[in-house]
């Protein structure tokens, strides 16, 4: 079956670094997305990985290992505004419109 | 201008009412989606329209009826809903192509409460 696992909640301190992990089991793989969702708002696209390795985009980086079915989102120099839910979603081969979504990780950044 | 807009932002309706949710995308995309987001559940894909043709219908009850009159507009018609249908309904759009995955852009959602 299809399954995506990520921690439910995480807490970190302003200015620190936090890593949010995501593991997946899907039939076929065509890329992994990370989205950020603030309370009461729309999910917004953060990153997309389809090949193994690290993709860096400012304070945010995303890593993928296809052989391990594993990804992480790395947030550096945390700011209070980074408090949000972070959603991991996988695109399957043969159906790039239907994403398999994780439950999301609720990150609280404390001063 | 916001890429994907949704109206209304909040809706309270009784179980016997009929209402419609509206979504409009200003990004020139060719695919549009309806999702349901409930607490402690992953995003649930309801419907997908690609080039105005419905291509996904994930066993959604018939009390939810989508309509896509053109590539920029998407509606979700609601009738005789149940309290468990209370949720955040998100619309999204993307530029679907035959190759790799494509990111979806979401609207702010409609918070629906069924009483």
Which of B33, B102, B109 lies closest to A96 in CB terms? B102
Does a cis peptide bond (omega within 30 degrees of 0) precede residue A35?
Answer: no
Mutate to test the interface with A, among B40, B98, B103 (most CBs of A within 10 A): B103
Q: Per-residue pLDDT tens for A71-92?
A: 999 999 999 999 999 999 998 8
Portion of chain A with pLDDT greater than 70, in percent: 97
C-alpha span between B27 and B29 (Å, rounded): 5
pLDDT in tens, B81-106: 999 999 999 999 998 775 666 889 99
Asked if B107 reaches chain A (Cβ–Cβ under 8 Å), the answer is yes
* DSSP string over A31-83: -EEEEEE-TTS--EEEEEE-SSEEEEETTEEEEEETTTTEEEEEE-S--GGG-
Q: Which residues, other chains included, contact A69 with Cβ-Cβ below 8 Å and sequence gap of 6+?
A: A23, A24, A25
Of the pLDDT bands very low, low, confident and very high (cuts 50, 70, 90), residue B16 is confident
Residue B39 confidence (pLDDT) above 70: yes
> Residue B32 to residues A99, A104, B96: CA-CA distances in angstroms?
13, 22, 9
Between CA B87 and CA B114 the distance in angstroms is 9
pLDDT (tens digit per residue) in A44-74? 999 999 999 999 999 999 999 999 999 999 9
Question: pLDDT tens-digit profile of B63-76?
Answer: 999 999 999 999 99
A-chain CB neighbours of B91 within 8 Å are none
User: What pLDDT sits at residue B21?
Assistant: 98
Closest Cβ–Cβ partner in A48, A87, A104 for B101: A48
Name B77's Cβ contacts closer than 8 Å, sequence gap at least 6: B18, B19, B20, B64, B65, B66, B67
Instruction: Please name which of A31, A34, A64 lies closest in space to residue A47, comparing C-alpha atoms.
Output: A34
Average pLDDT on B24-44 reads: 93
Determine the Cα–Cα distance for residues B72 and B31; give it in Å rounded to an integer.
9
Q: What is the pLDDT of residue B77?
A: 97
pLDDT attached to residue B15: 87
Is the pLDDT score of B57 beyond 90? no
Residue B1 has pLDDT above 90, yes or no: no
B55 close to A (CB below 8 A): yes
Q: What is the pLDDT of residues A14-40, one digit of tens each?
A: 999 999 999 999 888 889 999 999 998
């Amino acid at each position: 079956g299809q399954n995506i696992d990520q921690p439910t909640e995480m807490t970190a301190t302003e200015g620190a670094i936090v890593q949010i992990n995501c593991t997946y089991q899907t039939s076929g793989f065509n890329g992994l997305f990370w989205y950020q969702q603030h309370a009461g708002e729309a999910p917004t696209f953060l990153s997309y990985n389809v090949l193994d390795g690290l993709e860096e985009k400012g304070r945010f980086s995303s890593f993928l290992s296809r052989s391990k079915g594993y990804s992480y989102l790395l947030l550096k120099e945390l700011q209070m505004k980074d408090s949000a839910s972070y959603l991991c979603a996988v695109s399957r081969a043969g159906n790039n419109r239907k994403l398999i979504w994780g439950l999301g990780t609720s990150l609280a950044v404390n001063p | 201008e916001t890429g994907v807009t949704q109206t209304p932002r909040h809706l309270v309706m009784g179980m016997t009412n009929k209402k419609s949710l509206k979504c409009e995308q200003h990004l020139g995309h060719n695919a549009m989606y309806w999702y349901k987001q409930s607490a402690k559940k992953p995003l649930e894909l309801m419907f997908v329209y690609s080039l105005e043709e419905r291509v996904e219908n994930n066993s959604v009850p018939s009390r939810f009826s989508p309509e896509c009159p053109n590539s920029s507009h998407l509606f979700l018609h609601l009738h005789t809903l149940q309290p468990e249908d209370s949720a955040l309904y998100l619309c999204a759009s993307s530029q679907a192509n035959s190759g790799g995955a494509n990111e979806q852009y979401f609207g702010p959602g409609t918070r629906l409460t069924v009483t």
